[in-house]
Amino acid sequence: MIMEAASRPSPEEMAFGEALSELEAIVASLEGGQLELEESLARYERGVALLRALQAKLADAQQKVTTLIGELETESADDA
């Protein structure tokens, strides 16, 4: 949900799913049309920031693979 401005993490620091959920909540609240104009503008700005961060994440995403147990063998032709 929408938190107070002060406690909101920056979109860049947020997990993809979290940022996306917040963006969706913002769109829904704006579509509701019940907000004050100032609040609408504030949420719009936040939404744009989230959107930019999400798009950047998608564009720049590099798969990170962490091995918890065992050691990954490089891919070979033979099937297991």
Partner 1 sequence: MDRERAVSVSEAMAAAKRALEKITLTVVGEVSEFSDKPGYRAAYFTVADRDASMSCLMWRDAYLASGVTLRCGMLVEMTGQFSAYAPKGRMQFVVRRLALAGEGKLRLQVAETARRLEAEGLLRDDRKRSLPEYPMRIGVVTSPRGKAVHDVIRTLARRYPVAEVLVAGVTVEGTDAVPAILEGLTAVAQARADVVLLVRGGGSYEDLMPFNDERLARAIAASPVPVVSGIGHEPDTTITDFVADVRASTPTAAAEASTPAVSELAGRLEKLSRLLGRALEHRVRNAEHRVRLLSTRPLFCEPDTLLGQAGQAVDNAARALGRAIPVGLARDAARLSYAEEGLMRAGPRIVERPADAIARLAGRLNDLSPLAILGRGYAVCFAADGSTVVRSVSEVSVGEVVEVRVHDGRLGCIVERIEEGR
Task: Catalog residues that contact partner 1 under the rule CB under 8 A.
Answer: 15-17, 20-21, 23-24, 26-27, 30-31, 33, 35, 37, 40-41, 44, 47-48, 51, 54-55, 57-58, 61-73, 75, 78-80
Q: How far is the CB of 5 from partner 1 (least distance, A)?
A: 17
Contacts of 65 (CB under 8 A, 6+ apart): 72
Burial 10-31 (b: 16+ CB within 10 A, else e): ebeebeeeebeebbeebeebbe
Q: How far is the CB of 17 from partner 1 (least distance, A)?
A: 3
Amino acid at 17: G
> Judged by CB, which is closer to partner 1: 1, or 68?
68
